[in-house]
């Protein structure tokens, strides 16, 4: 019996059976003849099933896959990469599956430090479950096998931004790909990126202009070379583009935009002269503020918003002034009034708009990464916000200040601040550290855990926290210092203490991170 024959017979039997012998009424003799094998004579239904069994087995046993030229092998390049241990990869997968999910970036950083790549067989789990941000920061940790894989699975193709910016992808990609490509180009060669952008700018749709302007704002590398382009964008049809261009221009202290802003500010803020002599030193200098009367077209064009945001409790004219201050580089004030940072901030604090102006200065200092200003402002914000009455926005401003400080300087800002607080201000410590989304150094960690230890043993204050109150401590503290400090605190903490749960949760997080380190770094 040929393959075609047997298939035909099987199909005929299937149709008969589907319809039912009541309706189809085949003849037993024909079924027996069709079976092509000796099957017993009997009623029609079992005969049909027996014929089907023969036909089915015949086909199953006779199935042979056809030979064909194997597809041309597209083999991953041999890579001489060190692969992370199987245990480390298991832990990464557990995190990607939801357990301590937020520690994934740390795993990637540690793997990168250990110079290992994710084992190839774990890559699909990683590529499927890493966020876009995590993927782009993962880079080398994904290894060369990931690059090979992403070419084969379209779902992963957006993963990789090639190290070499490609004008091809910039010209022909989707909006997301073009943004990624522009970001890469901006990092590698800011002038090249500007050149790309200038060529296509006039034909880009508004959404693309907003997105690309965002790239310029966030990818760093803004310089005087960009000024003409940004200045022109202040006249864009889309408001978001105009505001983003103004925000970019604030990074260029020598720009015409900055000069115009200075011209606006000069008549509005004056400072009393420094007096000589002992008495003069004791009397603090004072600021005299004049609120702007109106906003002219140039001010609007430069990005000053006429209306304050709905939730902000501030008058319109004060809002204008605050925005101008936020746009100005902080060092300008010291130059202008010939004073040091503390003197100026002291004077600001005595004005009617102290909070708003300090927050505006904090914004400017964050942008300029001016460590002296960051440090002075952070200290002042903390000292000034009593635990009872935290001004809205203050701890976020604090966090933004610290996040903007270069990592090498951050510890020098944070540690003295923590050292200046005591356990009665623990709520403030919690608030500040919670807002902070950067890793703490060893010194800050030691200070924070000393405060925690004192607070845990302080029976005079009642416990009023959720059990996950220390979650951000677990993810940001220096693991080695924190583990040692916490072990002592837990040892001394009685079982019945309301802190027990929070401390155990924290301890578990630190143990998880310790294990992660052990698996990756040793």
Binding-site ranges for other proteins (CB under 8 A): 10, 13-14, 17-23, 40, 43, 45-46, 48-50, 52-53, 56-57, 60-71, 73-76, 86-87, 90-91, 93-94, 96-99, 119-125, 128-129, 145, 148-149, 152-153, 490, 500, 503-504, 507-508, 511, 515, 518
User: Rounded distance, CA 289 to CA 356, Å?
Assistant: 13
Q: How far is the CB of 67 from other proteins (least distance, A)?
A: 5
Smaller CB distance to other proteins: residue 73 or 163? 73
Alpha-carbon distance of 75 to 78, in angstroms, equals 9
Q: Which is nearer to other proteins, 32 or 328 (CB)?
A: 32
User: Nearer Cβ to other proteins, position 50 or 379?
Assistant: 50
**CB 116 to other proteins: min, Å:** 15
Instruction: Choose between 153 and 396: whose C-beta lies nearer to other proteins.
Output: 153
Minimum CB separation from other proteins for residue 68, in Å?
4
Query: Least separation, in Å, of the C-beta of 63 and other proteins?
Result: 6
**Packed helices 28-35 and 3-19: angle between N→C axes, nearest 10 degrees:** 150
What is the enclosing helix (H) or strand (E) of 288? Answer: strand 287-289
60 or 310: CB nearest other proteins: 60
Find tokens 């023969």 and name the residue. 54
- Give the nearest distance from C-beta 265 to other proteins in angstroms: 56
Secondary structure tally for the chain: helices H, strands E: 30, 2
8 A C-beta contact, residue 47 and residue 31: yes
- Least distance to other proteins from the beta carbon of 489, Å? 11
CB of 96 to other proteins, least distance (A): 7
Residues 6+ apart with CB under 8 A from 118: 83, 84, 89, 92, 111, 126, 141, 142, 143, 146
Tell me whether residue 122 or residue 333 sits nearer to other proteins (CB atom): 122
**What region does 58 belong to: left with phi over 0, alpha with psi -120 to 50, or beta?**
alpha
- C-alpha angle 456-460-462 in degrees, rounded to nearest 5: 70
Compute CA distances 288 → 266, 344, 391, whole Å. 11, 12, 23
Q: Which is nearer to other proteins, 19 or 220 (CB)?
A: 19
């Amino acid at each position: 019996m040929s393959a075609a024959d047997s298939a035909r017979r099987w199909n005929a039997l299937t149709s008969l059976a589907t319809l039912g012998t009541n309706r189809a009424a085949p003849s037993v003799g024909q079924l027996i003849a069709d079976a092509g094998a000796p099957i017993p004579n009997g009623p029609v239904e079992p005969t049909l099933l027996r014929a089907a069994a023969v036909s089915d087995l015949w086909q199953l046993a006779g199935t042979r896959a056809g030979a064909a030229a194997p597809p041309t092998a597209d083999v991953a390049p041999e890579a001489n990469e060190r692969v992370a241990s199987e245990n480390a990869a298991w832990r990464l997968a557990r995190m990607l599956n939801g357990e301590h999910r937020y520690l994934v970036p740390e795993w990637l950083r540690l793997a990168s430090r250990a110079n290992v790549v994710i084992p190839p067989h774990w890559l699909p789990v990683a590529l499927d479950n890493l966020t876009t941000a995590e993927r782009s920061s993962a880079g080398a940790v994904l290894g060369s096998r990931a690059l090979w894989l992403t070419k084969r699975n379209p779902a992963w193709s957006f993963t990789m931004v090639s190290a070499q910016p490609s004008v091809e992808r910039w010209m022909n990609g989707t909006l997301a790909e073009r943004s990624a490509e522009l970001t890469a180009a901006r990092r590698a060669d800011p002038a090249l990126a500007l050149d790309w952008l200038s060529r296509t700018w006039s034909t880009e749709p508004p959404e693309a202009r907003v997105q690309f302007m965002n790239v310029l704002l966030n990818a760093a590398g803004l310089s005087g070379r960009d000024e003409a382009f940004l200045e022109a964008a202040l006249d864009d049809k889309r408001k978001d583009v105009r505001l983003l261009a103004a925000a970019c221009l604030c990074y260029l202290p020598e720009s015409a935009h900055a000069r115009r802003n200075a011209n606006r500010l000069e008549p509005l803020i004056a400072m009393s002269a420094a007096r000589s002599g002992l008495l003069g030193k004791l009397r603090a200098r004072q600021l005299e503020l004049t609120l702007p009367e109106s906003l002219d077209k140039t001010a609007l064009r430069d990005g000053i918003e006429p209306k304050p945001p709905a939730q902000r409790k501030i008058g319109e004219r004060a809002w204008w002034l605050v925005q101008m201050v936020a746009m100005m580089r902080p060092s300008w004030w010291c130059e202008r009034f010939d004073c040091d940072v503390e003197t100026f901030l002291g004077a600001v604090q005595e004005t009617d708009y102290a909070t708003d102006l300090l927050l505006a200065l904090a914004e400017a200092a964050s942008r300029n990464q001016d460590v002296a200003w960051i440090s002075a402002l952070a200290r002042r914000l903390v000292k000034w916000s009593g635990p009872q009455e935290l001004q809205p926005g203050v701890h976020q401003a604090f966090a933004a200040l610290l996040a903007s400080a270069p990592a090498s300087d951050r510890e020098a800002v944070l540690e003295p601040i923590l050292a200046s607080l005591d356990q009665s201000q623990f709520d403030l410590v919690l608030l500040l550290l919670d807002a902070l989304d950067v890793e703490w150094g060893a010194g800050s960690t030691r200070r924070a855990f000393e405060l925690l230890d004192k607070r845990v043993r302080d029976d005079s204050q009642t416990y009023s926290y959720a059990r996950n109150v220390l979650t951000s401590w677990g993810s940001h503290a220096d693991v080695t210092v924190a583990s040692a400090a916490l072990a002592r605190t837990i040892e001394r903490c009685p079982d019945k203490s309301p802190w027990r749960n929070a401390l155990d949760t924290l301890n578990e997080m630190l143990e998880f991170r310790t294990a992660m380190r052990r698996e990756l770094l040793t």
